[in-house]
Amino acid sequence: MLSLLINFICLFSACMTSNQFTLDVKPKQATILVFYKTGGYYHKSIPAGIMVIQALGKNNSFKVDTTADASHFTGGNLKKYAAVIFLNTTHEVLDPGQQKAFETYIRSGKGFVGVHAATDTEYEWPWYGKLVGAYFTNHPKVQKAIIKVTDKKHPSTKLLPDVWEHTDEWYNFKDINPDMKVLAWLDEKSYEGGTNGNEHPIAWYHEYDGGRAFYTGLGHTEESYSDPLFLKHLLGGIQYAIGK
């Protein structure tokens, strides 16, 4: 599986270097941090996610650091990153001092990307809940569902079809931030187990407390990281968070 994924990333990356997937970046390359600490469930897709983001960075002129060590969340260290990705983090991952450093980082105008279980993270930190946009409550089994893409102006969705059929683990949410801008919705009639009704957001973005935040509910399965549409979606979200 891993070798096939590597081959796929190489092919996809080669494509991106020659067409519209290539990011328009400043002469000085941006650097992002992929954070994947888990205090609860560990997603087996995390290694695949790291490899894909590293490949996207290599072929789109941004650098990628990775860590599961929360001690990296200091004011001095975070300054070097244009954006931080919470890749399938779960439960409590930062102590109070690290939380304060991250708040200061976002307030300085930097970016955040949350992937899938980023909403299953830091339930007792209200500031983070508003940043990520919602909290996970539960999910049905992995299954195919229809995503309705309603905002095609954002870099994370501009290359997606209006109706996107994708297989993943579909989260139900609570404490949804009313100020976020929804990019795509789940059609609960297309699968079993949805509880958010006719307005079930699955990808969104917003400006928050001086910074930028993007979240996608996709990214549970390893197969997602070999889906060209998901890679376009993820790359566009990173592009937004970096601050093109």
What's the pTM value of the predicted model, to 2 decimals? 0.90
**Cβ-based neighbour number of residue 147 at 10 Å:** 28
Percent of the chain at pLDDT > 70 equals 89
β 211-216/201-208 pair status:
antiparallel
pLDDT class of 15 with cuts at 50, 70, 90: very low
Reading the block at residue 179, the tokens are 């100020």
Is residue 241 classed as helix, strand or coil in its secondary structure? helix
Question: Do residues 33 and 65 lie in contact, with contact meaning Cβ atoms separated by under 8 Å?
Answer: yes
Residue with tokens 């290694």: 47
What's the domain range around 36? 2-242
For the chain, the domain total comes to 1
Residue 187's beta-bridge partner residues?
Answer: 146
For residue 8, the model assigns a pLDDT of 54
55: CATH: 3.40.50.880
Crossing angle of the two packed helices 228-242 and 46-59, in degrees rounded to 10: 70
Structural element, H or E, at residue 32: strand 30-35
Q: Are 87 and 34 in contact (CB under 8 A)?
A: yes
d(CA 150, CA 157): 9
Structural contact between residues 160 and 183, judged by C-beta atoms closer than 8 angstroms? no
Rounded Cα distance, 48 and 197, in Å: 31
Averaged confidence pLDDT in the chain: 92
Q: pLDDT per residue over 43-56, tens digit each?
A: 999 999 999 999 99
Question: Which of 177, 169, 97, 170 shows the shortest CA–CA distance to 132?
Answer: 177
* Cβ proximity of 51 and 5 under 8 Å: yes
Write the single-letter amino acid at 9: I
- The pLDDT tens digits for 88-142 are 999 999 999 999 999 999 999 999 999 999 999 999 999 999 999 999 999 999 9
Kindly state the percentage of the chain with pLDDT values over 90.
88
pLDDT band at residue 28, thresholds of 50, 70 and 90? confident
Residue 92 phi, psi dihedral angles, 5° rounding: -85, 120
